[in-house]
Structure 1
């Protein structure tokens, strides 16, 4: 009889294997569309920049982190049983996951600016301050954070186990309660809450504006941005929120949850 843990691992492998291929194909089609309509969709529409960054970060994760995960789920052991491989895999996984989450968080906030303050966002200094700087920060902050604490942990030494996914986890998660709490709450918990709050607030604001008619907003032109944001946010929340909630509960209350 097959071990229940092995059966669960193979089920996860089958699900990931059957979904990642179509996902990559969809990514390629979107890349081709952006390349063919570069001037129209990228140069003239800065609101699409964050979507392009999200797509790029997600694509990089699928071709780097995901193959390592697939190999482990299939065989029950990591691709290379070395210290450096486990450190790099952890860095890729945590960095790219956070980059995607933080880009989506900023996308939610930025949509408010492009929908309700479109004239302001046409000014160069506003576009730099509220568009380009946040994009760069969201893309670079967590990769540098995890380089520091995965490759050069200040208070511990990483011990990797090659028969566990991600070789377990960076040592600071187990030895530095403050840093672990900061990591989960600031990098995962807070972005999830912001995404939920901002989307609810956006919906309420749209209803309010439509009822009061205090502002002339071209709703037909903005409808695409709103639908796009809600769809992407729901996808991320469905797949990421449960894990984040469990992690936060383990940090704040009990590790046995």
Structure 2
């Protein structure tokens, strides 16, 4: 069957066979619009954080910068590949290597992003209540930079080793996402449980308890010391964490809870299966919404946006003036020379 016929067949199907009652063409446009808007916001935030020296040096922004880079990597690679499957019905490149790269990027970004937010939930306690721990350069390297680098390198090394393991000759289905590939190491119940606990449960606990205890500690200290200045100093840092944690509570936590129920042997019913399918499908919106949750928490962002708007507005006015000027000159009457 040709690609055009496959496209028409894929788009004409009403409800796909994966149990999610959203047509493939609707998924394509849903992902396309979300991906484009998220990329615009993500690049703008990354530019804002990296080119402003004050924001770039702020320790609490380093996790956000790393997380934004991970989101952008996935938004320009695996998400367009997923949209290609929704639209055409086949993967962009029919190759086992391509399928493994796809699976590697998805697994690395998914788990690393959750671990980064979990670490941010803990690190905020250090930056707000124990800032003397990062007073010197050596302390910042040990407490701030090394954990951040280890979290990122852990995901890259782990999945770089695990994903290519295919000694059980796993087959590739080029008509579904990631070619339906799963590494043979997941046949081990022990490793599957380890990854689920370290990647899903532990990250969720860090995000949940870290965020809740941060609010409690701030409220207690504010009431006990009556220091309005102290709260104002760290208010934006706290709001930034809570904004990011909120999308993980809504979109990341449900699949983890569903996985815990399965591990505990809770009987699968029609409702629970549908809940798990839709929770997994909309889990991608953690990537899409992450830049927007950080958008309103950055200082002087409104001033920067107004400056950019005024720049483009003045540039447009100058271009219009250049186009109008020659027309005005051409409408003047020629000067007649007087006869002597």
> What TM-score comes out, normalization by structure 2 length?
0.69
Q: Shift of the alpha carbon at 1:250?
A: 2.9
When residues 138 and 217 of structure 1 are mapped into structure 2, their CA distance, relative to the original with a 3 A threshold, is: farther
Q: 1:103–1:138: 8 Å Cα contact kept in structure 2?
A: yes
Aligned mate of 1:5, from 16, 25, 32: 16
Structural mapping, 1:1-257, within 5 Å:
2-5=13-16, 7-37=22-52, 39-43=53-57, 45-153=58-166, 156-172=168-184, 174-213=186-225, 218-253=230-265, 256=268, 257=273
Please tell me whether the aligned partners of residues 13 and 23 of structure 2 are also in contact (alpha carbons under 8 angstroms).
Answer: no
Q: 1:100 to 1:11 in 2, by over 3 A?
A: same
Cα distance in 2, alignment partners of residues 141 and 255 from structure 1: 34
Q: 1:255 to 1:146 in 2, by over 3 A?
A: farther
Distance 1:248 1:160 in 2: 28
Deviations 1:222-255 (A, max 9, x none): 0010000000111233222222222333344269
Separation in structure 2 between the aligned mates of residue 89 and residue 169 of structure 1, nearest angstrom? 10
Q: 1:14 to 1:57 in 2, by over 3 A?
A: same
State which drifts further: 23-32 or 212-221. Answer: 212-221
Corresponding position of 2:296: none
- Which portions of structure 1, spanning 4 or more consecutive aligned residues, are displaced by more than 4 angstroms? 214-217, 254-257
- The alpha carbon displacement at 1:102 in A equals 1.1
Verify the 8 A CA contact 2:121 2:207 in the aligned structure 1: yes
How far apart, in 2, do the equivalents of 1:216 and 1:109 lie?
Answer: 23
Whole-Å separation in 1 of the counterparts to 2:77 and 2:160: 17
Please list every run of 5 or more consecutive structure 1 residues that lacks an aligned counterpart in the other structure: none
Q: Is this contact kept in 2: 1:192–1:241, CA < 8 A?
A: yes
Residue range with higher mean Cα deviation, 72-81 or 211-220: 211-220
Bigger Rg, which one: 2
TM-score by length of 1: 0.90
The root-mean-square deviation of aligned C-alpha atoms, in Å, is 2.2
Distance of 1:214 and 1:133 partners within structure 2: 35
Which 5+ residue runs of structure 2 have no aligned equivalent? 1-11, 274-340
Equivalents in 2 of 1:247, 1:202: separation in Å? Answer: 27
In structure 2, what is the Cα distance between the partners aligned to 1:243 and 1:11?
22
- The 3 A distance-change label for structure 1 pair 127 and 31 is same
Per-residue CA deviation, residues 28-70 of structure 1 (Å, 9 max, x unaligned), is 1112212431x21112x12211111111111111111211111
Conservation of the 8 A alpha-carbon contact between 1:115 and 1:217 = no
Separation in 2, partners of 1:238, 1:30 = 23
Matched residues in 2 for 1:169 and 1:184: separation?
A: 18
Report if the CA contact (8 A) 1:24-1:62 is conserved. yes
Preserved contact between residue 116 and residue 217 of structure 1 (Cα < 8 Å): no
